[in-house]
């Protein structure tokens, strides 16, 4: 069993759900979160909002799947990210579980 943690902007909600369902995820949870990006190294004069950080409405998906389902999910997310013309991508972390109850 693997634990997947997936973050994406709110606009990608339906696409991430479709990827999970079509890849065999039987159930998952997701919550709204605020994404944060430190832009202190960028030119503030080029930033319309003149702030050194930006916040984005994002989602955090928590998914438990059999390990044999993970390659397909990773592949579909990689393909989805490759098609995007935006700077934002779907991010995924895979965690191996030693025990579960």
- Residues in contact with 73: Cβ distance below 8 Å, sequence separation at least 6, in sequence order: 4, 19, 20, 23, 25, 63, 65, 92
pLDDT at 49 over 90: no
pLDDT in tens, 2-33: 999 999 999 999 999 999 999 999 899 999 99
Return the pLDDT at 98: 80
The runs of H, that is alpha helices, within 23-99 are 70-83
pTM: 0.81
pLDDT at 93 over 80: yes
Banded model confidence at residue 56, pLDDT cuts 50, 70, 90: confident
Tokens of 38: 């430190």
């Amino acid at each position: 069993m693997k634990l997947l943690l997936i973050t994406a902007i709110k606009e990608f909600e339906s696409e991430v759900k479709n990827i999970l369902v079509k890849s065999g995820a039987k159930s998952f949870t997701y919550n709204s979160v605020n994404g944060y990006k430190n832009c202190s190294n960028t030119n503030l004069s080029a930033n319309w909002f003149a702030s050194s950080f930006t916040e984005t409405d994002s989602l955090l998906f928590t998914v438990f799947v059999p390990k044999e389902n993970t390659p397909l999910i990773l592949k579909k997310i990689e393909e989805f990210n490759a098609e995007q013309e935006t700077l934002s991508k779907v991010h995924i972390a895979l965690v191996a579980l030693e025990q579960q109850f």
